[in-house]
Amino acid sequence: MGNNIAYGILMRYLSFFFNCLILVLGAEAHTVNVCASCFDKDFQSAIKNAGVYDTIILKQGIYNSINTIINKPLTIIGENFPILDAKNQDEVISVIADHVNLIGLDIRNTNEGSIKDYAGIKVYKVKYINIINCQLNNTLFGIYISDASHVIIKGNHLKGLNYGKSNTGNGIQIWKSDSVVVEDNHSEGHRDGIYLEFAKHCIIKNNLSEQNFRYGLHFMFSDDDTYINNIFKHNGTGVAVMYTRRVQMINNKFIDNWGDASYGLLLKDMTGGLISGNTFSNNTIAITMEGSDKMRFEKNDFLKNGYAIKIMANCMLDTFMLNNFSGNTFDAATNGQLMDNLFKNNYWDKYEGYDLNHDKVGDIPYCPVSLYSVIVEQMPYAVMLLRSFTVDLLNRAEKNIPSIIPETFQDFAPMMSMHKR
C-alpha cells in the first residue's frame, strides 16, 4: 500500500520534471532565416528541417512553393512580402498541423481547374491557426479553411485569378469549421468574396468584398455567425445567405449591386436573425427574401434602390422597425395577398399622411406596395411607363379603393420624418 503511494508520488515528480523539460526545450524554439544568401535557401527544406514551434523568417525574394505542407507547429513570418509561387502547378501552402502562424507572405499562382479546389492557403482538420497580413494573388481559392476551428484570418488582401469569368474559386472559404474570425480582409475578383458553409460561431468583421463574379458574401447552414461593419459592393449579384439560423448582420454596407438579377441581400430560408444598422444603397433590389421567418430588420437605411424590399408571401413573423426608406423607386413588392409580417415606425419618403396630434407618427397607415409594382411584377416590360402620369392616376385610384394590392401589407405607424442615425 505505502509502496504504491511512494511510487505515485515519484511518478508525479517525474512527470513534473519532464513537463518542465519540455517547456524549457519549447522556449528554446529556434528562429531560422531563409533567403538567397542565407544558410537555408529553400523554403520547403527549411520547413522540413525546422523543429516544432520554430519561427521561420522569410526574407524578401521569390521562393518556389508547390504545395508546401506544413505538418508541425510553426510560425512563418515574411519580411517585405516574400513571394511564394506555385507556378500554376498545385496549391501554395497546406496546413495540416495545429498552432501555425502565417504572417506577411505573398502567395501566388495556384493551379486552376475543377478537379481539386486549389487554394493559396489550405487549412485542413486543425486548430489554432493565424493567417495575418498576407497577400494572395492569382489564386483559384484564396484561403480555404476546412474542418478547422479557432482560426484567425486578418488583414489579408486576396485577388482572384479571373475577373468576369465564372471558373474562379472563392476568396475566403470556410467549410465545416467552428470559431473562425475573419477581420480586415479585402477580397476581390473571385467567385464569392467570402464563403461559409457549415461554419458555426464565426465573426466576420470590417472586411471589404468587391468585384466578385458572383456574391460578395455567401453562406449556408452557418448558424450563430456575426457580420459587422463589412462592405459588399460591386459584386455580380450582391450577398446571398441561406438556410441559416440566428445570424446577426450589423452595420454592414451593401452598395452598387446592379444588374438584371442583382440584389443587395438575398435571404432564403433564414430563421431568427437580426439585421440592424445596415446601409443598402444603389442596389437593384436591396433585400429580397423568401421563406425567411422571425427576422428582425431594425434601423437600416434603404437609399436609392430600385426595390427596397421584395418579400415573398412565404415569409412570416418578420419585423421591420425604425428603418428609413428614401429615394427608392419601389418601396416594396410581394407576390401574394397575405402578409404576416409587422411593419412599424419606419420612415417612408413616399408617405403622404398627416400627423394631427404631433407625435411624429403618421395617423394613417402607409401601404408600401403600389399597384404599379404589382403590374411590373407581372409584366416586366411595363417598366417603360415608370413615373408616367397614367401610372400615377392608376396608383392613386388603387390607393383609395384597394382591390389588387395586398391590404395587410401596411406600416401601421409610419414616421413623419427620417430617423436620425
Partner 1 sequence: MFKISKYVFYDILRSKVIIAYTLFLLIISCGLFIFQNDISKSIISIMSIIMIIIPLVSIVFSTTYFYNGYEFIELLLAQPLSRRTIILGEFIGIAFSLVTAYLIGVGIPILIYAANATGTVIIISGIALTLTFISLAVLASVATRDKAKGIGISLMLWFYFSIIYDAIILGILFAFSDYPLDKAVIVLASLNPIDLGRIIILLKLDISALMGFTGAVYKEFFGSNFGLIYSISIMIVWIILPLSISIKIFKKKNL
Contacting residues toward partner 1, per CB under 8 A: 258-260, 262, 282-285, 304-307, 326-327, 329-330, 349, 375-376, 378-393
Nearer to partner 1, 185 or 328 (CB): 328
Nearer to partner 1, 102 or 308 (CB): 308
Smallest gap from residue 73 Cβ to partner 1 (A): 51
Cα 317 to its chain centre, rounded Å, is 25
Smallest gap from residue 178 Cβ to partner 1 (A): 38
Smallest gap from residue 264 Cβ to partner 1 (A): 11
Distance of alpha carbon 282 from alpha carbon 305, whole angstroms: 5
The candidate with the shortest Cα–Cα distance to 123, out of 78, 174, 88, 157, is: 174
Q: How far apart are the first and last CA of the chain?
A: 75
Cα 56 to its chain centre, rounded Å, is 32
Nearer to partner 1, 373 or 410 (CB): 373
Question: Do the beta carbons of residue 271 and residue 248 sit within 8 Å?
Answer: no
Smallest gap from residue 388 Cβ to partner 1 (A): 5
Smallest gap from residue 328 Cβ to partner 1 (A): 8
Nearer to partner 1, 62 or 404 (CB): 404
- Checking DSSP bridges between strand 231-233 and strand 157-160, what pairing results, if any? unpaired
Nearer to partner 1, 222 or 237 (CB): 237
Smallest gap from residue 262 Cβ to partner 1 (A): 7
Q: Can you say whether residue 147 is alpha, beta or left, with left for phi > 0 and alpha for psi between -120 and 50 degrees?
A: left
Nearer to partner 1, 26 or 259 (CB): 259
Q: Can you say whether residue 308 is alpha, beta or left, with left for phi > 0 and alpha for psi between -120 and 50 degrees?
A: alpha
- What's the sign of the alpha-carbon dihedral 158, 164, 167, 170? positive
Nearer to partner 1, 95 or 371 (CB): 371
List CB contacts of 387: < 8 A, sequence separation 6 or more: none
Smallest gap from residue 331 Cβ to partner 1 (A): 12
Looking up cell 468587391 gives 210
- What HEC string does 200-238 produce? ECCEEECCEEECCCCEEEEEECCCCCEEECCEEECCCCC
Q: What is the DSSP string of 96-130?
A: -SSSEEEES-EEE----SSSS--EEEEEES-EEEE
Smallest gap from residue 380 Cβ to partner 1 (A): 4
The set of cell numbers assigned to 415 is: 414616421
Nearer to partner 1, 135 or 284 (CB): 284
Q: How many CB atoms lie within 10 A of CB 276?
A: 18
